[in-house]
Structure formats: structure tokens, C-alpha cells
Structure 1
Amino acid sequence: MKAFRRAWSPLTAIALGALIAVSVTAHAADPDKKEIRFGATAGPYSDQIRYGIKPQLEKEGYKVTIVEFSDYVQPNLALADGALDANAFQHEVYLKKFSADHKLALSELVKVPTAPIGLYSHKHKRLDELTDGATVSLPNDVTNQARAIILLQQLGWVTLKPGIDPVKSSERDIDANPHKIKLVPLEAAQLPRSLDDVDYAFVNGNFALASGLKLTDALLLEKIPPYYLNLVAVRTADLHKPYVKDIATAYRSAEFKRVIDERFAGFSKPSE
């Protein structure tokens, strides 16, 4: 995953630096903190916090600040550095690999309703319009690329080499590509923009919704297994702190479930 780490912009670095300074002071001065900095990718996951979680926590006396991100790298680095107290944007496969690769002590708190990855097109109305040499964009990060390749295999557009675990697959593991599809790996946030340039694009649900696409616009939607449901992550050392338990309680509440039913139709929901 180190290949996907990039430098923060100067403004982001300044902002997160200020948050880190505040965080260190707050942790030292107030072990029972009442201020929560919650990171999320812009779109449905920040909106879930805004409409379903923040109001509940504020009733409990917390001040909640939502920090939005446009990529899958910075939220975990900011959480580990103390600039955030929790984040919501990733599934457990990504969290475990990113934490291991970057030696971060981060843990899952609770799974959240998740928008499935979908196959979209601005050029085609059906999947059977695939032609030889078609271009297909897909995420360039390891775990989400595997999700797209699993769907490609389900469609019969590619087959994997014998013995390959689909959950860990990449474009290098493709054995047969009968239509000579040209795969175009891109950063997940850029995939909606690629729709004007490719035949088909696999787009993560949060970025699809944030770009104005609807889940019902997809030509194919993933059936999300539990390990691909998104989650709330916190620092491992904070797992048993009161504010973390209050976050978990808010996500498991009937009030949050009502918000999901009203605002996030079509999302896959955790069983808990």
C-alpha cells in the first residue's frame, strides 16, 4: 500500500497539524473528552454522521466536527496521528492491510451501512454491448481492485489463474481475457470522472453518490459480503473509552436505522 501514499497538500497539512495539536492537548487535559473529530470521505459516509450520528452525540453533550476527505489514504494517517478520533470510509480488508503496511494501531469499532461498488457507463446501456478492446476503469488500491475483478469474473469477462484467492486478486492474476479488455486502474475518487473516457467504470458507492450518480444507474451492483461492509475505525488504545462506546451506541440505535431507511435506500446493512 505504500505505493498509494501521497503527500498531503499544504492546506491539509496545516489544518491537520492544528487538529493534532488540539488533540494532544485535549487528551492530556481531559481523559473523558467531549469533543470528537470524525473523519469520512465526502458523500454518504459523512452524511450518515451528519444526519444520524452527530445529533445523537450532541444530545449527550459532545461537540462533533466532521472532517471530509477525498481519498483513502489520509483518513487513516490522520486518525493514527491524533488529528481525528474516528473515521468512517473503509472496510475491514482495507483497514487490516493499510494498518499492517503502515504499522498503525487502528481497530474496527462497528460496521456501517455501505453503498456497493457498481459498474457504470455513459456510453452503453447494457452489459451485453461489450466489444473487443473495450476500456474498463477500476480502483487502483489493492482491496477495491479485487472487488472489481471479482465482478469481472462473475460477468465472464475475465477468468483468474488457478489457485488465486479472488479477495486478494489483482489484474496480474487474470488468466483469460477473451475480449482483450483494457483495464485502467485509477484512484477511486477519480473513477466517476473517467466515465466520459472509458466504456465502463467500476465506481465505489460513496464516490458514485458524491458525483451525482445513483445506485440505480449502475448496470451491475455488487452483493456486499460482510468483510466488504464499511466500518468505523478508532485508535486501538481508545477502544474502551467512553466516547468510543457512545459512538458505537449511536450507530446501533433505532434512530440511526431510521435515518438510513429514509436517506440511504439501497445500502447494504450490517447484521448487528
Structure 2
Amino acid sequence: MKLGKGLRLFTALLAVTVMQAAGAADPDKKEIRFGATAGPYADQIRYGVKPILEQQGYKVTIIEFSDYVQPNLALADGAIDANAFQHVVYLKKFSSDRKLALSEIVQVPTAPIGIYSRKHKSLAEVKTGATVSLPNDPTNLARAIAILQQIGWVTLKPGTDAVRASERDIDGNPHKLKLIQLEAAQLPRSLDDVDYAFVNGNFALAAGLKLTTALALEKIPDYYMNLVAVRTSDLNRPYVADIREAYRSQAFKQVTQQRFAGFVAPAYQR
């Protein structure tokens, strides 16, 4: 009896393994698990990309994440097939640090970081000792510090690399700002406690903030445009090409114009 149960278990596990291997090599993959941070990038898939892919016979499942760590780990582990939430600077650093083989396939319309406040109506109202919350992950912290420099609230040491800037690179802080680093998803909640908050566009929109109400918006350089990533081993799979073409389609551009006003358009939509 025990041997029979063991044999059946072995046979079942072998069948699952064979099915998984066959699915990994299947060039006609028709189910796509698409990860994104909750908010606009999930909505871009939901309203713009998913309908296009489903017309081509795919079944598309959207998995939403609340942070910037799990989407890449899930992609590398095979729990999802693609994700949309990050820019190339973050993708390269995260992949290098974690030794993951992930690659960009297409840029997407991107919501800029905005400066928001519930206590002040303009940047000109900044006072000595004002509290300012910023993202704590290195790449988005660097973006916020670059904006602080652009609006004249800090100066950076000569030769500072804008992509890698941190608080250590600040050599001038005339308003004696108190910079408070928080997880990006928590920044909208900080608005009740700080004078100004730098909020990533996706988390701002997910929290009910509008890009048009920001006191200032980031001028996004190309290397901070968000993108779709897949496993590098899947780059030549047909479903990857279909995802890329869905984003580049006229139908998706129309959805972008209707639903995502204020987003910075990728080059293929300009």
C-alpha cells in the first residue's frame, strides 16, 4: 500500500514537471500573467493592453503589487510573465544586485514624480526647517534630489552623478530642510505630517491625487521612463513580441490620451 502511494505521488510529480517544462518551451503560449504596481500601470494593462491581447486569443491575468521589490522577484521566479512598474535604472541595479536575468522590451506612458502639499499652496511658501518626504529606494531618491536641485532648494557637490545622488551629495541646504526618507508607497500618507512630499506618479494616482494638482512635476529624462520587463530568456518568445506591439498600437495610444492625461508619452506615441 505504501509503495503504491509513493509510486502514484512520484508519477504525479513527474507529470507536473513534464507539463511545466513543456509550457516553458511552448512557442504558442496563450496565458500571460502580467504584474504591475496597483494604480495607473495596472490600469494601462487593464484598459489598453489586455483587450488587444485577448483579441489575439490570450488569457491575461493582472497581478497587482504594492511595492517595488516583489514584481521583479516574481518575474524571475516565473510566477508572472511580464511586469510594468519600473525604469531602466532601477531594473539594471535591481537585476545586478540580485543576479537576475531580466530585460526591457518597451517603454510605457509614465507618470512623473510630483511635489504635493496639504499645508502650502506653492513652492514659494517653503520656510526654514520645512519637512520634506522623499522615496527611500536609491534610484527614486536620486530623482527627488535632482528635482530639489532644479527648484533651488539644495545644491549638490560638483561632479555628482544625478542617477546616483543621495543626501551625502548635498552640499547646500539654504532652507535647512528636514528630509525624511520613506517607502514610496507610504509617501501619499505622509502629506498630513510633512510640509511637502515627493510622490511617485503611480502612487499619487492610486491615492486619489491628481498630477494636475502637484505644485511641480518632474521633467522625466528618457532613462526614467517606465517600461515592461520580461525574463531575458523569453525575449524572442511570440507573446513578448505581442505585448510590445500592443503597447505600440494606435488603440493603446487612444486609451492613453483618454485615461492618462499628464503622463509623459514614450517616443513611439509622439
TM-score of the pair, normalised by structure 2:
0.91
For 1:148-167, list aligned pairs within 5 A: 148-167=144-163
The answer on 1:240 being equivalent to 2:236 is: yes
Tell me the equivalent position of 2:57: 61
**Residues 139, 24 of structure 1: alpha-carbon distance in 2 compared, 3 angstrom cutoff:** farther
Displacement of 1:25: 5.8
Displacement of 1:178: 1.2
* Corresponding letter in the other structure for 2:221: P
CA contact (8 A) 2:27 2:238 kept: no
For 1:212-231, list aligned pairs within 5 A: 212-231=208-227
The answer on 1:33 being equivalent to 2:29 is: yes
Taking only aligned residues, the RMSD between alpha carbons, in angstroms, comes to 1.5
For 1:1-272, list aligned pairs within 5 A: 24=20, 27-28=23-24, 30-272=26-268
CA contact (8 A) 2:108 2:226 kept: yes
Displacement of 1:161: 1.0
Displacement of 1:139: 0.3
**Residues 26, 261 of structure 1: alpha-carbon distance in 2 compared, 3 angstrom cutoff:** farther
Percent of aligned pairs with the same amino acid: 77
**Residues 26, 65 of structure 1: alpha-carbon distance in 2 compared, 3 angstrom cutoff:** farther
Unaligned runs of 5+ in 2: 1-16
* Corresponding letter in the other structure for 2:197: A
Paired residue secondary structure (1:243): helix
**Residues 206, 30 of structure 1: alpha-carbon distance in 2 compared, 3 angstrom cutoff:** same
Indicate the structure (1 or 2) with the bigger Cα radius of gyration.
2
Cα displacement string for residues 37-73 of structure 1 (whole angstroms, at most 9, x for unaligned residues): 0000000000000000000100111000000001000
Displacement of 1:26: 6.4
Structure 1 CA distance for aligned equivalents of residues 27 and 75 of structure 2: 17
Structure 2 CA distance for aligned equivalents of residues 174 and 133 of structure 1: 16
Structure 1 CA distance for aligned equivalents of residues 75 and 168 of structure 2: 32
CA contact (8 A) 1:24 1:82 kept: no
Unaligned runs of 5+ in 1: 1-20
CA contact (8 A) 2:135 2:181 kept: yes
How many residues are paired up? 252
CA contact (8 A) 1:26 1:33 kept: no
Structure 2 CA distance for aligned equivalents of residues 94 and 62 of structure 1: 29
Displacement of 1:30: 3.4
